[in-house]
Amino acid sequence: MSLDLGETLESPSSPATDSVATPPPPTSATPTAIPRIALVGTPNCGKTALFNALTGARQKVANYAGVTVERKEGPVVAADGWRGRVVDLPGTYSLRARSPDEAVTRDVVLGRFAGEAEPDVIICVADATNLRLVLRLALELKSVGRPMVLALNMFDIAERQGWRIDVERLSRELGVPVVTTVATRKRGMETLLDAVRGLAVRPIEAHAWREPTSTELRVAHREAERIRKACVTQPTQPDTLTGRLDSVLLHPIAGSAILLTVLFLMFQAVFTWAQPVMDLIKAGFDHLATLVAQVMPEGVLRSLITDGVISGVGSVLVFLPQILILFLFIILLEDFGYMARAAFLMDKVMGGAGLHGRAFIPLLSSFACAIPGIMGARVIDSKRDRLTTILVAPLMTCSARIPVYTLIISAFIPNKTVWGFVNLQGLVMFGLYGAGIVSALLVGFIIRKLFWRGASEPFIMELPAYKLPDAKNVIMGVLTRAKIFLRRAGTVILSMMILIWFLSSVPGKPAGAVGPAIDYSFAGMIGHFIEPVLRPIGFNWQIAVALIPGMAAREVSVAALGTVYAVAGGAEAVGPLGNALHNQWSMPTALAFLAWFIFAPQCASTFGVVKRETNSWAWPTAMFAYMMALAYLAAFAAFHIAKASGL
């Protein structure tokens, strides 16, 4: 009898199965087949780092439990040309999966994953400095009956701390080969592969795994503890740094103050550090536009390039430095080991809002983008807690809102210092992020109160040891984001911009007409058609034009405004978009625009992911409806309050 809470919500792409062992399928290890090797282990032991080291992939590695929530496969080639396929899996303490991510691991290991045979070899990955739980897991994995290798990973740390591990004895006790590895330095990879190859040819035993009872768990724990005592001696230089740092970072008062300061600094940095580089990029694009205007004859093509491509895509690319600074901060926090501490500090607040304590990590990563945040919610075992997290994740201020916020803030909020040291623009930015967080908590609270009363799920989470972020990993992470951003600019944003330019220029101005051409274009017509709906919240028809393509991606709204105002003003208006807005919008309109973007459902791919994760259109639809309603209300309130107070 199983109690699979995780499965009540569509367990991503895994067939629903009961936990009773099924007879093994015919063995797949024919000599010609390429062997498949599964990486299994407790959370945060370095499985993905090992996967990257073996396959040369660049999957996300970070210092908290629950980074990997999907199955990833990649090829491995040994020095002598031998080939295999490696499968990276979410971390788990047992095969008795409780959450959707753990269900993936269970299903792959037991050969229940849709259309997939069992792996030929299992590499059980262990954090060499934290063996107790993984030894029990290794015993459980052995009962699956697959050939197995134990990789004692993070062996560099174990050596530094002076752990003494009797590898041969451990291998004898467990009855499997044991290899030491340092995944982040690619040490021990050939030895590991040799050990795997020695097993891949072995016949496969029938597997006999079934869900252990609590008594069996205790017995296995005792056996694991016996093995550990026999093979491992305590470190001579244990990690005291983590304890000392925690006494500050988890301090009830100092810890919360530090968390707030870190977030505050992050948004100040996004605003102030990025400025010089942004000015440089902006100047570059302005220069380019003038250059093109000089060398190209006046005409349709020149308009497309200056108004559509340069002022549109350029207006988005300018924000690259800000987005990278934000990612730098998030990656540093993740690698350092701070995320789990933030979740600890926020647990009560999250719990009060009806959210699961662990939800803070997916929500914090939603600052980068809601999509990994929504997928990260797979680590939450309860269906309701997970759905609530998914529903509120898009309220967290993702990096695609940065262009919108920055543009409006720098056009309307004076760049001055308040209270001696705080940059006012940075403060408003912090406020917008705060508004996102507070509304996510409020919506979570309301969902919980209205629909899902009842007790919340347990919160039990390992706190990893702090690690100095690895420079290479950090740089790779930031560069990956830069590439993703540039690719978006070159594809989605560029094609939207060409479309918008087209709609804004066609059909051309009738002979003898007064006013700019855009008034007579399709875009103008659409904008004027929608405007009445948006007038109560202070939006003009140009904004209406920009909002529609913004549905594809939020940044496009900024680019679209650039094009709309550039086309409207003629070629000479190519220049700072902020100035154009400053002259054309009232303060209440600008504030309403900001308020709108806190809530507006404006990213098609987010809805796609919510559909995939919940396996129904009902949830993305509900999400769209509630976000749209909130956006309209918030913009309405912002516009009228600002107007009434004479701004």
Partner 1 sequence: MFSGRAKSPESSGVVPLGSAARGFSGVVVGVGVASNDGGLQAGELERRLLEIGFVEGARVEILHEGAIGRDPIAVRLDDMRVALRRREANAVMVQADAGEAAYLTAAE
Ligand X SMILES: Nc1nc2c(ncn2[C@@H]2O[C@H](COP(=O)(O)OP(=O)(O)OP(=O)(O)O)[C@@H](O)[C@H]2O)c(=O)[nH]1
Task: Name the site residues for partner 1 (rule: CB under 8 A).
Answer: 3, 5, 93-94, 96, 98, 129-133, 136, 212-214, 217-218, 221, 225, 240, 242-244, 246-247, 250-253, 255-256, 340, 343-345, 347-349, 351, 357, 382, 454-465
Q: Which residues bind Mg ion (CB under 5 A)?
A: 47-48, 67-68
Measured from the CB of residue 232, what is the shortest distance to partner 1 in angstroms? Answer: 10
- Specify whether the CB–CB gap between 341 and 358 falls below 8 A: no
- Tokens representing 96 are 């008795």
Find the binder of ligand X among 73, 156, 159, 286 (CB under 6 A): 156
159 Cβ contact list (under 8 Å, min separation 6): none
Measured from the CB of residue 312, what is the shortest distance to ligand X in angstroms? Answer: 38
Question: How does DSSP classify residue 74?
Answer: E
Residue 221 binding target from ligand X, Mg ion, partner 1, none, CB below 5 to 8 Å by type = partner 1
Nearer to Mg ion, 12 or 576 (CB): 12
Phi, psi of 53 (to 5 degrees): -65, -40
- Tokens representing 87 are 């499968």
The answer to the question of residue 46 lying near ligand X (CB under 6 A) is: yes
Nearer to partner 1, 216 or 279 (CB): 216
The answer to the question of residue 49 lying near ligand X (CB under 6 A) is: yes
Q: What is the spatial distance between Cα 13 and Cα 441, in angstroms, rounded to a whole number?
A: 30
Nearer to partner 1, 131 or 370 (CB): 131
SS3 179: strand
Nearer to ligand X, 386 or 554 (CB): 386
Instruction: Write out the binding residues for ligand X, residues 178-207 only, by CB under 6 A.
Output: 182-184
Q: What is the spatial distance between Cα 239 and Cα 233, in angstroms, rounded to a whole number?
A: 15
Nearer to partner 1, 225 or 286 (CB): 225
Burial 6-23 (b: 16+ CB within 10 A, else e): bbebebbbbeebebebee
Residue 587 binding target from partner 1, Mg ion, ligand X, none, CB below 5 to 8 Å by type = none
Find the binder of ligand X among 223, 470, 519, 531 (CB under 6 A): 470
Nearer to partner 1, 461 or 634 (CB): 461
SS3 389: helix
SS3 126: strand
Measured from the CB of residue 23, what is the shortest distance to Mg ion in angstroms? Answer: 31
- The angle subtended at Cα 25 by Cα 112 and Cα 194, nearest 5°, is 85
Measured from the CB of residue 378, what is the shortest distance to partner 1 in angstroms? Answer: 17
541 Cβ contact list (under 8 Å, min separation 6): 524, 527, 528, 530, 531
Nearer to partner 1, 205 or 239 (CB): 239
Binding range to ligand X, per CB under 6 A, among 42-50, 163-171, 391-399, 535-543: 42-50
Nearer to partner 1, 259 or 474 (CB): 259
Residue 156 binding target from partner 1, ligand X, Mg ion, none, CB below 5 to 8 Å by type = ligand X
Q: What is the spatial distance between Cα 148 and Cα 165, in angstroms, rounded to a whole number?
A: 19
Amino acid 473 reads: N
Measured from the CB of residue 62, what is the shortest distance to ligand X in angstroms? Answer: 5
Instruction: Write out the binding residues for ligand X, residues 471-490 only, by CB under 6 A.
Output: 473
Cα dist from 166 to 156, 226, 232, whole Å: 15, 13, 6
Find the binder of ligand X among 24, 37, 38, 48 (CB under 6 A): 48
Residue 96 binding target from ligand X, partner 1, Mg ion, none, CB below 5 to 8 Å by type = partner 1
Binding-site string for ligand X from residue 54 to residue 73, where x marks contact by CB under 6 A and - marks none: -------xxx-xxxx-----
Measured from the CB of residue 176, what is the shortest distance to partner 1 in angstroms? Answer: 21
Nearer to ligand X, 170 or 340 (CB): 340
Measured from the CB of residue 157, what is the shortest distance to partner 1 in angstroms? Answer: 12
Residue 100 binding target from Mg ion, ligand X, partner 1, none, CB below 5 to 8 Å by type = none
- Tokens representing 562 are 């650039």
Residue 535 binding target from partner 1, ligand X, Mg ion, none, CB below 5 to 8 Å by type = none
E runs forming strands in 467-549: none
Binding-site string for ligand X from residue 82 to residue 121, where x marks contact by CB under 6 A and - marks none: --------xx------------------------------
Amino acid 369 reads: C
Nearer to ligand X, 157 or 534 (CB): 157
Binding range to ligand X, per CB under 6 A, among 47-55, 243-251, 504-512, 577-585: 47-55
Q: What is the spatial distance between Cα 605 and Cα 483, in angstroms, rounded to a whole number?
A: 18
For β-strands 36-41 and 83-88, DSSP reports them as parallel
Cα dist from 99 to 5, 377, 417, whole Å: 7, 10, 47
Q: What is the spatial distance between Cα 109 and Cα 125, in angstroms, rounded to a whole number?
A: 14
Q: What is the CA radius of gyration of the chain?
A: 28
Measured from the CB of residue 343, what is the shortest distance to Mg ion in angstroms? Answer: 17
Nearer to Mg ion, 476 or 525 (CB): 476
Measured from the CB of residue 379, what is the shortest distance to Mg ion in angstroms? Answer: 11
Three-class SS of 352-388: HCCCCHHHHHHHHHCCCCHHHHHHHHHHCCCHHHHHH
Chain centroid offset of residue 347 CA? 20
- Tokens representing 207 are 């597997």
Per rule CB under 6 A, count of chain residues that contact ligand X:
28
Residue 544 binding target from Mg ion, partner 1, ligand X, none, CB below 5 to 8 Å by type = none
451 Cβ contact list (under 8 Å, min separation 6): none
265 Cβ contact list (under 8 Å, min separation 6): none
E runs forming strands in 552-597: none
The answer to the question of residue 311 lying near ligand X (CB under 6 A) is: no
Binding range to ligand X, per CB under 6 A, among 78-86, 151-159, 598-606, 616-624: 151-159
The residues of the shown chain that bind ligand X, judged by CB under 6 A, are 41, 43-49, 61-63, 65-68, 90-91, 153-154, 156-157, 182-184, 335, 467, 470, 473
